[in-house]
Structure 1
């Protein structure tokens, strides 16, 4: 399930304000630790804007011939 950036931010805020251990907080929220920590690393590196979904499409196709080489 994909969560919107606002909901990810809310989960992070709840985590930071919680007095419970990390595992219990994440179990209560229903989020795996690996998923949460991936979000948290992105949040720490880039703020709330970094929580927006990234496109799943690759930036480059591996078997595509460059326009420069075609000419």
Structure 2
């Protein structure tokens, strides 16, 4: 992983982190926080969710944790096999319904 810096004060070159901030902001604004600790906990929970459970379209619908830990290819192969089995099953069901 390489750390790449963009031009300062130029949001167009900071697209991914700007999108992350927008997503976090939208999530945080959904609730009211009465104590600073509540807000900090919610942000921490969001970071965990974003990195370990939320699928990212730019990562082939994998989580960042899956990609970082090298599980991406295995997961994609499993999904492909499940897709093939599902297609086979549906074709058999369709043939049985038509016959």
**With structure 1 as the length reference, what TM-score do the two structures score?**
0.29
Larger C-alpha radius of gyration, 1 or 2? 2
Structure number with the higher helix fraction is 2
